[in-house]
Amino acid sequence: MSQQEDPRETGDPIAALIRSLLKELGQDPGRDGLLRTPGRVARSLRFLTEGYSQDPIAILNDAVFEETYDEMVLVKDIDFYSLCEHHLLPFFGRIHVGYIPDGRIVGLSKLPRMVGMFARRLQVQERLTTDIASALETVLRPRGVAVVGEATHLCMMMRGVEQQNAFAITSSLRGVFSEDPKTRAEFMELIRHQRRSFV
């Protein structure tokens, strides 16, 4: 271990790669401002990709209940942060998740938990949207699932086209949300609804 190296990153292959990357960028990883950067980046990347070690089916199955409720269930404005797999730059925004049960419901807190799990992988917004819909469809076997994602992508803002106001919307509509225009329209109207303070 060099005298300047952070002892917490000794033997950490990701930290070693970040030190090499800093050198390739013409930086001195031993200078004050960068001394602990390789370890910080390694820990950050492990946190931002911890979704690979989690099972979405297990997350949902932990709180599935038999219930006769058969109207729409919607959790909207679920905040998320993810890393674009093309540039390893963040994209972030909100996900809206709805489903129409067919005898089974899931605890409401599991929906944001599942969104966070899928977001903590190297992602593209399109796949993030369909991953969430597929997991919900697999576990609940509902009459329909609808997922809409809205996100800002730093890879479009900081580089390339450098568009500061552009954002992306993706959707995955299944079952009655795909087949029935009225159900789809109700979902779209509900996700536009602005929440008022309850206090």
pLDDT tens digits, residue range 90-127?
A: 999 999 999 999 999 999 999 999 999 999 999 999 99
* pLDDT in the model for residue 158: 84
Instruction: Band the pLDDT of 1: cuts 50, 70, 90.
Output: very low
Which pTM does this prediction carry?
Answer: 0.88
Instruction: For residues 61 and 38, give the distance between their C-alpha atoms in angstroms, rounded to a whole number.
Output: 38
**CA pseudo-torsion sign 14, 17, 21, 23:** positive
Instruction: Band the pLDDT of 197: cuts 50, 70, 90.
Output: low
Structural domains of the chain sorted by starting position, each given as residue range(s) with its CATH number in brackets:
7-48 (1.10.286), 56-192 (3.30.1130.10)
User: Mind telling me the catalytic residues?
Assistant: 84-87, 125, 153, 155
Instruction: For residues 190 and 74, give the distance between their C-alpha atoms in angstroms, rounded to a whole number.
Output: 8
By C-alpha distance, which of 49, 38, 52, 44 is closest to 8? Answer: 38
Alpha helices (H) in 25-157, listed in sequence order: 37-48, 56-61, 110-119, 125-140, 154-157
